[in-house]
């Protein structure tokens, strides 16, 4: 896609404006359209990295002047470990695979590590995955970029001094389990085990053992209705939760999970998946939807378990209508918040990584503002970390908090809508 010019999404969509991150008439987020069509190729003149509020820039210079992308360290007291978990659901033939086979999944785990953890940190994604992400979706295959190193050590022993609440995570259509690393590491540093699924063939790229890379099959996925996609993804979530219950697990995690305290969050279509999984599976006790739509039975069913709705400032009448319809059916704890001056991609790591990679990505200013908003990206991520940590602390650990009761001057970025 090098040299490609921005292409707006079809204007016929009833879900949102032409350039929204839900472009298709079927209401789905297509990352190929969202990122690939909007990214300018390497032949386009590179722009300067946006200035940060502290007067610096987000892009550090790597070798030969290449942007070196970074993520903020977690703020909790515990060191963080990470591991990959591969699963096969022998009860299902994979409807999205190119040939008949059992459904194959991968989950990325973040967990509180044992004290004294040592060793190198894990990469954000594998080299094969970031190469595919960069070439296929950002449209800059030849750009020199150093992708982030995380703040989690791969395979380091888990903390076995206590049992840890579990938070599941579901990515948006065409995204990856790594896209919420900043949030996952924060939760893990505060004592949660986070298990983020890659919904194979709806994920942008998933590397399996043997260096086998499976990439998104948009046509097969979108042959289903939105409700069918959400139901299929919710079945992936059940498979993961079954594995967490029965093991085996890596990094000494067997016996360390508090599976009576399970929550879930998801961004975009992952938010719809969260709502459906919360509806379907009584083992999940609390959910959080990050700027996601709603499809299927969960969109109108009564829900007595806690649900947090966090919107971006992006104007989406369809999302708002969906949430308005669901709201009276939420009969338990509920909150509806907005992250002001944000865009749809503010609820994932791209909020931080796209501005840092601007010398290579060269997104036009209006597209940056549309998809990422106009607020400070570091404050946006810090606010999400604070509210999600407080939310899951309250509902999975019983940790008191006043943060979710009313607006606070410390986080002016968060508006209470209901």
DSSP state, 174? T
Read off the pLDDT band of 202 (50, 70, 90).
Answer: very high
| Interval 84-100: pLDDT, tens | 999 999 999 999 999 99
Average pLDDT, the chain: 87
Please name every residue paired with 111 in a beta bridge, in sequence order, or none if there are none.
81
Residue 61 is predicted with a pLDDT of: 41
Judged against a pLDDT cut of 50, whether residue 165 lies above it is answered with yes
DSSP 8-state assignment for residue 151: S
- Pairing state between β 102-112 and 80-93: antiparallel
pLDDT at 146: 95
Angle, CA 41 vertex, CA 133 and CA 96 arms, to 5°: 30
3-state secondary structure of 237: helix
DSSP H helical ranges for 327-364? 350-356, 358-361
Q: Among 304, 234, 256, 314, which residue's Cα sits nearest to residue 111?
A: 256
> What are the tokens at 132?
């595919």
Per-residue pLDDT, 137? 83
Instruction: Please give the pLDDT value at position 65.
Output: 64
pLDDT tens per residue, range 174-190: 999 999 999 999 999 99
Buried b / exposed e over 28-49, threshold 16 CB at 10 Å, is bbbbbbbbbbbbbbbebebbeb
Task: Give the C-alpha separation, 73 to 152, whole Å.
Answer: 9
DSSP labels for 287-326?
EEEES----SGGGTS-B-S-EEEEEESS--HHHHHHHHHH
State the Cα angle at 88 between 84 and 89, rounded to 5°: 135
Whole-model pTM: value is: 0.87
Q: Are strands 205-208 and 212-215 parallel, antiparallel or unpaired?
A: antiparallel
Q: Which of 219, 185, 225 is nearest to 349 (CA)?
A: 185
| pLDDT > 60? residue 294 | yes
- Interval 29-37 mean pLDDT: 35
* Distance in angstroms (rounded) separating the CA atoms of residues 72 and 378: 8
Domains, the chain, in order of start with CATH, read: 58-416 (3.40.50.1820)
CA-nearest of 371, 352, 319, 377 to 20 is 371
What are φ and ψ of residue 415, in 5° steps? -105, 135
Query: How far, in Å, CA of 323 to CA of 309, rounded?
Result: 8
Mean pLDDT, to the nearest integer, of 60-67?
59
> Is the Cα torsion angle 59, 61, 62, 64 positive or negative in sign?
positive
């Amino acid at each position: 896609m090098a040299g490609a010019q921005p292409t707006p999404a079809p204007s016929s969509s009833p879900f949102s404006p032409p350039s929204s991150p839900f472009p298709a008439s079927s209401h789905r987020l297509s990352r190929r359209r969202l990122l690939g069509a909007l990214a300018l190729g390497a032949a386009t003149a590179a722009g300067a990295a946006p200035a940060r509020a502290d007067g610096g820039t987000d892009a550090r210079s790597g070798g030969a002047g290449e942007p070196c992308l970074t993520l903020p360290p977690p703020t909790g007291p515990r060191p963080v470990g990470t591991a990959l978990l591969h699963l096969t659901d022998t009860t299902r033939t994979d409807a999205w695979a190119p040939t008949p086979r059992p459904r194959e999944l991968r989950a990325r785990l973040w967990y509180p590590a044992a004290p004294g953890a040592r060793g190198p940190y894990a990469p954000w994604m594998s080299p094969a995955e970031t190469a595919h992400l960069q070439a296929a979706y950002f449209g800059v295959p030849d750009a020199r970029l150093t992708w982030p190193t995380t703040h989690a050590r791969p395979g380091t022993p888990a903390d076995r001094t206590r049992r840890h609440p579990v938070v599941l995570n579901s990515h948006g259509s065409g995204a990856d389990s790594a896209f919420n690393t900043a949030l996952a590491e924060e939760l893990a540093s505060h004592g949660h085990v986070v298990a983020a699924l890659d919904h194979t063939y709806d994920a942008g790229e998933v590397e399996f053992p043997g260096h086998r890379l499976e990439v998104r099959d948009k046509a097969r996925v979108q042959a289903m209705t939105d409700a069918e996609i959400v139901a299929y993804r919710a079945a992936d979530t059940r498979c993961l939760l079954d594995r967490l219950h029965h093991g085996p697990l890596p990094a000494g995690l067997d016996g360390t999970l508090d599976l009576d305290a399970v929550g879930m969050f998801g961004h975009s279509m992952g938010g719809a998946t969260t709502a459906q999984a919360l509806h379907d599976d009584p083992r999940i006790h609390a959910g959080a939807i990050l700027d996601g739509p709603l499809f299927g039975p969960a969109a109108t069913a009564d829900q007595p378990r806690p649900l947090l709705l966090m919107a971006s400032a992006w104007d989406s009448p369809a999302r708002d209508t969906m949430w308005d319809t669901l709201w009276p059916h939420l009969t338990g704890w509920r909150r509806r918040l907005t992250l002001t001056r944000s865009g749809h991609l503010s609820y994932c790591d791209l909020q931080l990584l796209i501005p840092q990679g601007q010398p290579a990505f060269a997104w036009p200013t209006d597209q940056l503002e549309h998809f990422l908003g106009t607020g400070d990206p570091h404050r946006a991520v810090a606010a999400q970390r604070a509210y999600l940590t407080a939310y899951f602390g309250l509902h999975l650990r019983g940790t008191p908090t006043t943060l979710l009761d009313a607006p606070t001057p410390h986080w002016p970025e968060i508006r209470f809508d209901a």
